Chains A and B, each alone.
Chain A
Amino acid sequence: MEFFERFAVPHPSPLIYASMVAIGLVIIAIIAGVSYFKKWGYLWNEWLTTTDHKRIGIMYIISALLMLFRGGADAVMMRLQTSVPDNTFLDAQHYNEVFTTHGVVMIFFMAMAFVIGLMNFVVPLQIGARDVAFPRLNAISFWLYFAGAMLFNISFVIGGSPDAGWTNYYPLASNDFSTSVGVNYYNWALQISGIGTLMTGINFIATIIKMRAPGMTLMKMPMFTWSALITNAIIVFAFPVLTIAIIMGTLDRQFGTHFFASTNGGMDMMWANLFWVWGHPEVYILILPAFGIYSEIIATFSQRNLYGYKSMVGSMVIISLLSFLVWVHHFFTMGQDALTNSIFSITTMAIAVPTGIKIFNWLLTMWKGKIHFTVPMLYSVAFIPLFTIGGVTGVMLGVASADYQYHNTMFLVAHFHNTIIPGVVFAMLAGLTYWWPKMFGFMLNEKIGKWAFWFLTIGFCFSFFPMYITGLDGQARRMFTYSEATGFGPLNMLSFFGAGLMAIGFVIIVYNIYYSFRYSPRNVGDDPWNARSLEWATHNPVPEYNFAVLPQVESSEAFWDYKKKGHKLFPDSIKKIHMPNNSGLPIIMSGLFFIFGFSFVFYIWAGVIISAIGIFACMAYRSFEKDDGRYISAEEIKETEDKFGGAGQ
């Protein structure tokens, strides 16, 4: 019995019991459903063991959408709790847990996964490649992310959620102040999925550097691919810092070291520094791919070449360098001297310059263009003014002396949501809508999509603009309630209303997926948007080998120039194609990592040792394995191509 007591949630509530039941039911329903339709074989062979970048991308995106709902539920609960003064829907401890899991789930398991998912699907197609450099590693990346995400999510019902914020500052996150196993979950879930992300970074840099179609020089790459290259470089340089920080945190909590303690030489600010040395680059890991997506969409729907290609690339490079030099702006108030603060204040504000260049480039791309207001374009057009507001308030926060006024207030919360929602989330939704026909062969319904867009945009304004005001008035962030006398009530109610509109917007998106799946026409052609880059030069949906013949590229808008100027895109004839084999190893390893993390969270050493041995055994197996992939014969390719109506155009 004693063994099982540790798994109890220390601070239960009816909500948690209800979730336990719901999780149990969903798992049973999934197992029963798959068994009933006899889909286990299909699921295993086509998806769970796949090494196809397109399917891995889709699995990332599905997971990201699930996490969006988990994080969204947290968000609605928080806004509900603060909608009126002195509310008692959540108590302080639950509120702490909810904002912590909200932040972690949204950043790591929603936004990161969405970005990486779209990169997976799109980048190899855009560069005219047949897969990524290391398809097997790619599957491992996804499954490690998935293991981490699941590990994090069960904390809610087994042992208790972390409660020290997504920034997890010490000493708050130490055993003294976070007494449940929650922060252990934080450590292990992020460590496991972080390794996956690092592997993605390596994989995509190698892919983009080495596997571009003939003729595609670096300066002829589509902008999204450029953003992916730079993003992955940031990943490779930033994530190891997080790895070390989390190891130190784990040692502190589980092995009694004093890295972040205030005794025996420890220093709590060390965590804050390491966290943000990773953390600020992290926000650019999220926003740069979003910039890339907007660049693609704005050029496509303005029917013009992207304005200022070189300055777009240059500004992203500068942003990526600066992103490593600004981390102190997250704690101006925590005791550095004035000179340090001034330096970081200046570097912070400097980032606004390259960002501004990009904004003007997008505007100039649209200038005199024939703009089509499709759903992806609507998101992009709304992004420009809304993100600019987020950037301007960011510069305000970057003024060190003024930051003393609004640091850790709702003003900050409004700022980063103002960058993340119109910046990242809108880009993901726009990108999903844009590339949806490539993924599934039909379009999402435009009319329903527009409804969702308006609900999300208007909802966004209602929910976050009031926070700027209450923040300047002194409403602190991460407070579970406030008194009537503060006068924050009405604006918080407005914010709750906005959150409700956004929730409706997301529901409409789900409905749109369902509706379009049933009713959308399936004969949309290979290029439904009249687009510009290579992914549109192959079929809809894309065959597993991507391109029957490798394209020959001559400009940064290869497909557009092919359509307008008519140069030959596929000069070669069909030959056999080498493809990677499927493998069950990644998912098995990820299962072992899950057990490893879970056991470590609860100090179950037997589980730790056994799963560690299992993981090493998998690696040894992989070392000895002979897997040279397989070939698809030219005849087979011709057959497939004929079904699609002709090889290459």
Chain B
Amino acid sequence: MKIDHTQPLEYSTEQNQLNILGFWIFLGAEIMLFATLFASYFIYENRVGNGPSGGEIFEITPVLIETFVLLTSSFTIGLAINAMRLKRTKAMLVFLGITLLLGLGFLSVEIYEFMHYYHVGATLQTSAFTAILLTTLGTHGAHVTLGLFWGLFIMIQIKRRGLTPATANKSFIFSLYWHFLDVVWIFIFSFIYLKGMM
């Protein structure tokens, strides 16, 4: 492995650069994935059958908490990457840890939200609208869940192996992923919740 010291650690080998480019392309595919879900959502939005509409089931409080928590986590992972650039491994681990805890918090509130939908009779089977709502939220939530494990694994690796080109690369890519999930959430917040409650 040739290490290029003029570059930040996460870009310092050829494979690292490839990994980052590859991940950007993957995010392109993810954009299409969520774009398809959003397009479907807009089409099914008012096709509620005998079930409730968005305005009837959305609750602002949990949604605001989720938004706040996830946006904060996007900030803290930014701090983690900043710490990584400064080679401050400890601080980096702390910020990553906070990020994952916030992610966990997000997920807990989302689970609460899903139980709420279940109790008010909005399940996958209720109508095309509830189905696309839960599928879209669920896809995002599944990404967050996967991210929690992934992030945890990366933290363990940094702890064991220190900041190497490989772990730095993984952390940077993970941060891209995490920011991306945040961006998707902003769309969900604006075009699903706010639009639905207007």
Contact = CB atoms under 8 A, between A and B. Distances in A.
B36 interface: yes
Contacts of B190: none
A238 B35 CA distance: 11
A134 B32 contact: no
Nearest to B157: A624
B36 A274 contact: yes
Give the residue among A205, A239, A240, A578 with the most B Cβ atoms within 10 A: A240
A244 B18 contact: no
B36 to A, nearest CB: 4
Interface string B97-140: 00000000000000000000000000011111101100100000
A209 B36 contact: no
B153 interface: yes
Interface stretch (A260-268, A293-301, A468-476, A639-647): A260-268
Given A202-B29, A205-B25, A237-B29, A266 B128 contact: yes
A251 B153 CA distance: 31
A364 interface: no
Contact of A240 (B1, B33, B131, B153): B33
B127 A198 contact: no
A620 B150 CA distance: 8
Interface of A: 133-134, 198, 201-203, 205-206, 209-211, 236-241, 243-245, 247-248, 251, 255-259, 261, 263-267, 270, 274, 277, 578, 616, 620, 623-624, 626, 628
B61 to A, nearest CB: 27
11 contacts: A134-B22, A211-B18, A237-B32, A240-B33, A248-B135, A257-B135, A259-B131, A274-B36, A277-B36, A620-B149, A623-B170
A210 to B, nearest CB: 6
A256 B124 contact: yes
User: 7 closest pairs, A vs B, by CB?
Assistant: A265-B47, A264-B49, A265-B128, A240-B33, A265-B49, A240-B32, A257-B131
A263 B21 CA distance: 44
Nearest to A232: B25
Contacts of A620: 149, 153
Given A267-B44, A623-B150, A244 B33 contact: yes
A210 B15 CA distance: 10
Contacts of A274: 36, 40
Give the residue among A134, A259, A620 with the most B Cβ atoms within 10 A: A259
Determine the interface band of chain B, counting residues with CB < 8 A from chain A. Answer: 35 or more
A267 B43 contact: yes
Contacts of A241: 32, 36
Interface of B: 1, 17-19, 21-22, 25-26, 28-30, 32-33, 36-37, 40, 43-44, 47-51, 124-129, 131-132, 135, 149-150, 153-154, 156-157, 166, 170
Main secondary structure of the interface of A (DSSP, over half): helix
A241 B22 CA distance: 20
Nearest to A257: B131
Nearest to A256: B125
Contacts of B156: 624
A265 B124 contact: no
Given A133-B18, A240-B36, A258-B49, A264 B128 contact: yes
A134 B20 CA distance: 12
A151 B45 CA distance: 35
Give the residue among A238, A239, A247, A258 with the most B Cβ atoms within 10 A: A258
Given A210-B17, A264-B51, A251 B131 contact: yes
B22 A206 contact: yes
A257 B25 contact: no
